[in-house]
Amino acid sequence: MTTIEQVEKLLPKLTRAEKARLLQEVARDLGEAFPGIESAPGVCGGEPCVVRTRIPVWVLEQARRLGCGEAEILRSYPTLRAEDLANAWAYVRAHKKEIDRQIRENEAA
């Protein structure tokens, strides 16, 4: 039985208060997630990338800082969608120091 199947089986047995607490835990856990952005060991050095691509978020942010507009970025990376850029910008806002460091390290390389 998968974990989700186990949860589905237990859910009806929980009280309303327990369900509310579970929902709070799930929301807290998801608050740290960024849809469309993933970090995987062995892919781009583990740096956060746009899902389905090997395009690191810092590359997109650096392009934006250099004056590239979203339309130009989307033309330069045809596999990207506008939604991908929105996800990347949300990640940048939440992880500014990390992205700044990645840009500095890659400029120095």
Task: Give residue-wise pLDDT tens across range 50-107.
Answer: 999 999 999 999 999 999 999 999 999 999 999 999 999 999 998 999 999 999 998 9
Does residue 21 surpass a pLDDT of 90? no
Domain count, the chain: 2
Instruction: Look up the pTM and report it.
Output: 0.71
Q: Whole domain around residue 3: which residue ranges?
A: 1-33
- Beta strand pairing call for 37-38 and 49-50: antiparallel
Question: When comparing pLDDT for 13 and 33, which is higher?
Answer: 13
70 and 102 part of one domain:
yes
The answer to whether the beta carbons of residues 93 and 47 sit under 8 Å apart is no
Same domain, 50 and 102: yes
Question: In terms of domains, do 26 and 72 share one?
Answer: no
Residue 47 near residue 102, CB atoms below 8 Å? yes
Element at 49 (helix H, strand E) = strand 49-50
